[in-house]
Structure 1
């Protein structure tokens, strides 16, 4: 399947998430109790729920999406370019409505699929869960009820799962795979652990968007490497 895949049929994406509130103590009382219960499973001895609140952004029930970057590979004049569009807003409902509308249009054609790194464990379910929490209709490609596992795998590609080759023991980061395949790293400014601080501490959403777009290009380049094809340089990334 990998070598027969038309790279122009793939929509690459990456999401950035943050906790619902800047600090634990700004959560509603019921969510403080719920986070205390949830975090009990991974807090170290002596840590309180406020000490690990920065991790709340990775859980759809306690976090929210602030940016989704999506991109496609296009041919122009015999040369490949990566065309990327970002959906970002402090209003998550508006962000998701716009993104899901685009997603439905893109996937309304035969053979189209999505690709993300660790998408099956994070990006795809997170988008779906936050879509429902915001009272929106699931995009067709993420409405998985009744779908067979192999159908899901074909529609929702994951560069992490492809790299595992059936191995369920290890997580391999996008940064490590970029280094292994000699792909220019997108981690030249911030990384995922700093997103909440940049968003709440600096209010710099544009900086987060740029980081997210670079990650999306890195995912596309990783899949190109898997296919044994040349990567696309940053100079050939078009932001629309």
Structure 2
């Protein structure tokens, strides 16, 4: 079934998130209480709510998106190309620009979104942040009333699980075991908050996000047992 998919109908994506505010002290009193309740299970007695706030970016209610990168295959020139683009800046603008991309180029029933752990993280996170900003959900993220086989989402983590729902494999590990070359990483996911708030280097985050998008596309190619992308086939737009 995977081999029957038209690669040009898939939009590969990844998001990078950070805590909504730079410091815990910037939260309102009500939000501090809510954060303490939300994070209690994970931090247990090891961290205070304030100490744990640097991890708030993984929750859509307490974090925000600082970058969405997307990539897609193009064969129209007679050769295979993988085009990568990114949206950065204020979160509301990021979400509006991403919606425009979906509305203009990836709105047909046969179009799919693909991410690693996207069904548990990227797709719902984007949708929730859109609603928080009172933005209209694009059809590819509006899942209400859809049957499981009608959901237009691919997830490389889910594909690798083969039905084993207890199993989690990071994108970094998956590319390693599948023999996908990994470029030298400037940062990793644990550093995004610091790079954004302390260093103000959004372009480093964009580059990291785009590398993940390329890696997701490479994983899908390997799962289809097709040749990997070469550097000359990857184009930034």
Ranges of 4+ aligned residues in structure 1 off by more than 6 Å: none
Matches within 5 A, 1:176-187: 176-185=173-182
- Report the 3-state secondary structure (helix = DSSP H, G, I; strand = E; otherwise coil) of the residue aligned with 1:82: strand
Partners of 1:206 and 1:82 in 2: CA distance: 20
What is aligned with 1:19?
A: 19
What is aligned with 1:195?
A: 192
Partners of 2:196 and 2:157 in 1: CA distance: 27
What is aligned with 2:60?
A: 60
Count of matched residue positions in the alignment of Structure 1 and Structure 2 = 237
TM-superposed CA distance for 1:77, in Å, is 5.4
- Report the 3-state secondary structure (helix = DSSP H, G, I; strand = E; otherwise coil) of the residue aligned with 2:198: helix
> Structure 1 residues 59, 129: closer, same or farther in 2, change over 3 A?
same
Unpaired runs of 5+ residues, structure 2, are none
Q: For 1:120-156, what per-residue CA distance to the aligned partner results, in whole angstroms no more than 9, with x for missing partners? A: 000000000000001100001111110001111xx10
> Structure 1 residues 57, 13: closer, same or farther in 2, change over 3 A?
same
TM-score of the superposed pair, with normalisation by structure 2? 0.96
TM-superposed CA distance for 1:36, in Å, is 0.8
Tell me, yes or no, if structure 1 residue 86 matches structure 2 residue 69: no
TM-superposed CA distance for 1:236, in Å, is 2.5
TM-score of the superposed pair, with normalisation by structure 1? 0.95
> Structure 1 residues 235, 50: closer, same or farther in 2, change over 3 A?
farther
> Structure 1 residues 209, 39: closer, same or farther in 2, change over 3 A?
same
TM-superposed CA distance for 1:24, in Å, is 1.2
What's the RMSD between the two structures over aligned residues?
A: 1.3
Partners of 1:235 and 1:29 in 2: CA distance: 52
TM-superposed CA distance for 1:110, in Å, is 4.3
Could you tell me whether the CA contact under 8 Å between 1:186 and 1:211 is conserved in 2? no
Q: For 1:169-218, what per-residue CA distance to the aligned partner results, in whole angstroms no more than 9, with x for missing partners? A: 11100000100111122561111111010000100001100110110000
TM-superposed CA distance for 1:109, in Å, is 2.8
What is aligned with 1:224?
A: 221
What is aligned with 1:4?
A: 4
Q: For 1:61-93, what per-residue CA distance to the aligned partner results, in whole angstroms no more than 9, with x for missing partners? A: 00000100011012265432210110111x111
What is aligned with 2:201?
A: 204
TM-superposed CA distance for 1:46, in Å, is 4.1
> Structure 1 residues 186, 156: closer, same or farther in 2, change over 3 A?
farther
Matches within 5 A, 1:89-238: 89=89, 91-152=90-151, 155-185=152-182, 188-238=185-235
